[in-house]
Amino acid sequence: MNTIRPMTENAVLILGGNRGAREELLKAAVEAVGASNTIVKQSKIYETAAWGGVAKGPFLNQVIEIKTKLRAEELLELIQHIEKRLGRKRAEPWGDRTMDIDILFFGKTIIATDLLQVPHPFISQRKFVLVPLAEILPDFMHPVLGKSSQEMLRECEDKSQVKEYER
């Protein structure tokens, strides 16, 4: 008897927050994502100043690569549930938050719907994304821009300081 194995896809997520017990919340988010997906790679944890001019405190950020059996929309639903469980309130864009999880890439798939844009539209403009991304996936090619993570980081005009988090 043949069994059909569900397809899996590699997805890349960025996780971060600047409110509450930031490190513990980040670890809880990674653990929650890993409960129903396989974590393939994890970057170091980085600390950065708030981006976008709205949030007030520094963020901890981390990029993870996962192997998932979920469709992109199902993954979005899962991460939004995790954010909410970890205290996320969607008050204002780029504002303070306990946890924010974004899908950066879903394999090489390009998605443009009202709910989801993949690749994430601001990857190449945000150093806090590119530093951990280039750490774990330096040669990954952006399916729209045709540039590797390292190339995007070299060309990024964001002058924010992204430093490895020290406990």
pLDDT in tens, 98-124: 899 999 999 999 999 999 999 999 999
The pLDDT value recorded for residue 143 is 96
Q: Which of 26, 102, 106, 12 is nearest to 58 (CA)?
A: 26
pLDDT of residue 36: 95
Torsion on CA atoms 28, 56, 93, 126, rounded to nearest 10: -80
At residue 95, the pLDDT reads: 60
Domain boundaries, given as residue ranges, for the chain = 9-164
User: Cα–Cα distances in Å, from 37 out to 9, 10, 31, 139?
Assistant: 10, 10, 10, 23
- All residue ranges of the chain with pLDDT < 50 are none
Report the pLDDT value the prediction gives residue 167, as an integer from 0 to 100.
80
The catalytic residues are 88, 97, 100, 102
Q: Which of 3.40.50.2300, 3.50.50.60, 3.40.640.10, 3.30.70.560 would CATH assign to domain 9-164? A: 3.30.70.560
Separation CA 123–CA 133 (nearest Å):
9
Supply the pLDDT for residue 7. 86
